């Protein structure tokens, strides 16, 4: 009889666990299934570059079928779990429910943008977490430039050319830096908008940016951003978001049509319906062996799990990073194999993060590697080399290098491709009404 090992979530954690399980578990004794809502792994560190157009969207993802050899990939979302019957229920893309029995279950469902109860935020802000967010934002920035160049109304032009990012952690800062870089280059081809000039504003509630790196590097990053004309408002929150403005905690109302919310992540909401023990932040409670508390043969890793952080002697959970998720994958695979009697001596998760790099665009970055700190071009080069070694698949590595190389001698590509994935309707009257474009 073969065991059923079911993995829910095919991101950094789930995919790395599946690969290791393929290696550890004999083919005839284990059936591996991975359930994910898309058929690719998104390499999030390259998301800002996909938004800025320096990398093609397809080159920042790797098809899961290229990574996995014998794991059965099922597309869908798991939305129910019965620990007593040892089953999970997945909803396929056709909307059908299917019950899947497991002997060992691994949850690696990741996280989503963390929303706060700020009036208007859900309606008027966009997160920066998925490929759809990044590509939407790129098209939106191009659209604002187009409209700002065309309008005769100075107040409207002001709104269109003001971009507000909320949250000064690494993902927000990288997205802001890359997109501002892109827009600054693109401006040359929008003469009327260029005369007016753009405003890029970073709003951060605490008194510093980049809590992930030492203070001197965070200050270096701040100087770089301010040197480029980016307004950084520390100790400030947004208190309201509207279609054409946002109100800050200082009382200032900023006219804008772009609010990007990058103020942290929350565990994936699907966890709430999976009958699992959750901590106060909604993460799955696990021990240092990555076992879910109180459930035998159930494991959790990555952003969705409160894995005790060895760097903090287990007193706080690991930060939500890919670095942690990809190292938890092989540990949990080994421990699952122990649970099935293939391996002996379960392992504790003992990885201590020693490196952090943040890309600031324009060939600059800040970072630390062990005790050494880097900034400027050396940090950028180290970060890029590291990511090149990490993005899965030789084809993706070559495609990324090709994108960067081809991009060097040419100006930025301004094609606004928001209509991709939204086929034109056949009905003629839609065109008679003036087209299908969504207003900003
Ligand atoms: C812009 C950005 C830049 C980043 N840069 C870095 C960086 O430079 N270095 C770093 O270490 N980290 C970085 N991160 C963080 C990193 O992306 C996450 O920590 C990492 O993705 C977590 O891995 P995971 O496996 O837990 O989840 P994910 O990689 O998010 O994978 C979870 C998968 O599960 C799927 N899923 C969710 N719910 C279900 C369900 N119910 N059923 C089926 N499938 C489901 C999701 O669609 C997803 O495919 C960055 C994040 C962002 C947003």
pLDDT of residue 425: 73
CA of 197 to the centre of ligand 1 (A): 35
pLDDT of residue 433: 67
Secondary element (H or E) of residue 68: none
E strands, 83-216, are 87-92, 97-101, 104-107, 111-113, 125-127, 162-166, 199-203
8 Å CB contact between 293 and 277: yes
pLDDT of residue 7: 98
Q: Which DSSP category does 122 fall into?
A: H
Q: Distance between the two ends of the chain, CA-based, in angstroms?
A: 58
pLDDT of residue 438: 59
pLDDT of residue 85: 97
Q: What torsion, rounded to 10 degrees, do the Cα atoms 30, 31, 37, 40 define?
A: 80
pLDDT of residue 434: 66
Q: Which of the listed residues 9, 167, 392 should we mutate to test ligand 1's pocket, taking the one with most ligand atoms within 8 A of CB?
A: 9
Residues of the chain with pLDDT under 50: none
* Residue 168: how many other CB atoms lie within 10 Å: 26
CA of 115 to the centre of ligand 1 (A): 17
The pLDDT tens digits for 72-105 are 999 999 999 999 999 999 999 999 999 999 999 9
Domains recognised in the chain with CATH numbers: 3-112+265-339 (3.50.50.60), 121-263 (3.50.50.60)
**Alpha-carbon distance 437 to 440, whole Å?**
9
Q: Which of the listed residues 109, 283, 380 should we mutate to test ligand 1's pocket, taking the one with most ligand atoms within 8 A of CB?
A: 109
Q: Which of the listed residues 325, 329, 351, 367 should we mutate to test ligand 1's pocket, taking the one with most ligand atoms within 8 A of CB?
A: 325
What would the two tokens of residue 24 be? 């550890």
State the closest ligand 1 atom to the C-alpha of 359, by its place in the atom list counted from 1: 8
pLDDT of residue 91: 97
pLDDT of residue 127: 95
CA of 322 to the centre of ligand 1 (A): 7
pLDDT of residue 413: 84
pTM over 0.85: yes
**Alpha-carbon distance 101 to 182, whole Å?**
49
Cβ–ligand 1 contact at 325 (below 6 Å):
yes
pLDDT of residue 286: 98
pLDDT of residue 437: 60
């Amino acid at each position: 009889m073969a065991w059923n090992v079911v993995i829910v979530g095919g991101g950094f954690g789930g995919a790395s666990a599946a690969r290791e399980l393929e290696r550890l578990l004999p083919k005839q004794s284990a059936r591996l299934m991975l359930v994910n809502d898309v058929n690719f792994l998104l390499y999030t560190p390259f998301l800002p570059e996909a938004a800025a157009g320096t990398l093609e969207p397809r080159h920042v993802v790797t098809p899961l079928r290229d990574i996995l050899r014998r794991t059965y990939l099922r597309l869908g979302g798991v939305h129910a779990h019965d620990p007593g019957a040892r089953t999970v229920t997945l909803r396929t893309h056709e909307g059908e429910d299917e019950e899947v029995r497991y002997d060992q279950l691994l949850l690696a469902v990741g996280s989503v943008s963390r929303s706060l109860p700020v009036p208007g935020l859900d309606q008027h802000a966009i997160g920066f977490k998925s490929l759809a967010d990044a590509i939407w934002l790129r098209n939106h920035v191009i659209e604002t430039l187009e409209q700002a160049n065309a309008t005769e109304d100075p107040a409207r032009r002001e709104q269109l050319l003001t971009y507000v990012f909320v949250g000064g952690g690494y993902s927000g800062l990288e997205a802001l830096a890359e997109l501002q870089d892109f827009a600054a280059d693109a401006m040359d081809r929008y003469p009327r908008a260029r005369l007016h000039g753009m405003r890029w504003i970073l709003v951060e509630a605490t008194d510093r940016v980049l809590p992930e790196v030492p203070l001197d590097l965070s200050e270096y990053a701040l100087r770089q951003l301010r040197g480029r004309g980016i307004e950084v408002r520390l100790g400030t929150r947004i208190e309201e978001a509207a279609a054409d403005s946002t109100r800050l905690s200082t009382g200032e109302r900023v006219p804008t049509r772009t609010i990007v919310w990058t103020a942290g992540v929350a565990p994936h909401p699907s966890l709430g319906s999976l009958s699992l023990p959750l901590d106060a932040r909604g993460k799955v409670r696990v021990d240092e062996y990555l076992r879910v508390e109180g459930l035998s043969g159930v494991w959790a890793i990555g952003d969705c799990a409160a894995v005790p952080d060895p760097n903090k002697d287990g007193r706080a959970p690991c930060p939500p990073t890919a670095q942690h998720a990809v190292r938890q994958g092989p540990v949990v695979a080994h421990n699952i194999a122990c649970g099935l009697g293939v391996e002996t001596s379960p392992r504790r998760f003992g990885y201590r993060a020693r490196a952090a790099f943040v890309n600031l665009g324009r060939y600059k970055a800040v970072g630390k590697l062990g005790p050494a700190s880097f900034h400027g071009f050396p940090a950028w080069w180290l970060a890029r080399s590291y990511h090149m070694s990490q993005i899965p698949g030789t084809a993706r590595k070559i495609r990324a290098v090709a994108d960067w190389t081809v991009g060097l001698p040419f100006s930025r590509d301004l094609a606004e491709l928001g209509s991709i994935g939204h086929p034109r309707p056949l009905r003629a009257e839609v065109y008679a009404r003036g087209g299908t474009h969504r207003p900003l």
